[in-house]
């Protein structure tokens, strides 16, 4: 609010990103009450378009994060073995993310195996990996808060089917 007070121009028009995931009703109503008579304009489309444009610095962060997640996913695929669990795969992915230099990931790696492999965005349940069954691995490498995701499936000794 202080920023708005310091920077508001004389047109009394204030842009609001109404499509933002974390814009609560309370945080939207507060400036309306504080700037009575101002016109609030939805500028969500402007931000959507701007997010499509990546600077060379952002692209560099994504490339580095991409290298990290590839390494972590390879470690996860190597962990897909009978007598191990989907939790073991998560351990391999997470450990490699940290060791390879990833920052904190917004969501835990999701790993599903066997009958659970068709469930999107659910995660490990300490289910044993079985020969011929799919194990899905999904996570992201993170550099300067830029997330580069990757999802892969691995099958230990796939059948001809």
Q: 99 and 23, same structural domain?
A: no
The CA angle 22-136-95, to the nearest 5 degrees, is 75
Q: 41 and 10, same structural domain?
A: yes
Q: How many domains does the chain have?
A: 2
Query: What would the pLDDT profile of 46-77 be if each residue is shown by its tens digit?
Result: 988 888 889 999 999 999 999 999 999 999 99
106 in a structural domain: yes
Range of the domain at 29: 2-52
Query: What would the pLDDT profile of 116-153 be if each residue is shown by its tens digit?
Result: 998 888 889 999 999 999 999 999 999 999 999 999 99
Average pLDDT over residues 71-92: 97
Last residue of one domain, picked from the residues 15, 30, 52: 52
pTM for the whole structure: 0.76
pLDDT at 32 over 80: yes
Q: 63 and 47, same structural domain?
A: no
Give 26's strand partners: none
**CATH of residue 107:** 3.90.230.10
Question: Do 30 and 104 meet the contact criterion of CB atoms below 8 Å apart?
Answer: no
């Amino acid at each position: 609010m202080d920023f708005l007070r310091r920077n508001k121009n004389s047109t009394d028009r204030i842009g609001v990103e109404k499509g933002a995931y974390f814009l609560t009703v309370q945080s939207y109503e507060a400036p309306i009450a504080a700037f009575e008579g101002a016109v609030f304009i939805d500028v969500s489309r402007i931000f959507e378009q701007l997010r499509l444009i990546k600077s060379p610095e952002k692209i560099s962060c994504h490339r580095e994060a991409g290298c990290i997640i590839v390494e972590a996913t390879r470690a996860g695929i190597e962990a897909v073995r009978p007598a191990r669990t989907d939790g073991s795969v998560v351990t391999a992915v997470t450990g490699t993310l940290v060791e390879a230099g990833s920052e904190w990931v917004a969501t835990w790696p999701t790993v599903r195996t066997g009958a659970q492999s068709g469930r999107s965005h659910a995660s490990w349940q300490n289910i044993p990996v079985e020969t011929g069954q799919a194990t899905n691995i999904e996570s992201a490498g993170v550099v300067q808060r830029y997330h580069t995701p990757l999802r892969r499936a691995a099958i230990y000794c796939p059948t001809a089917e």
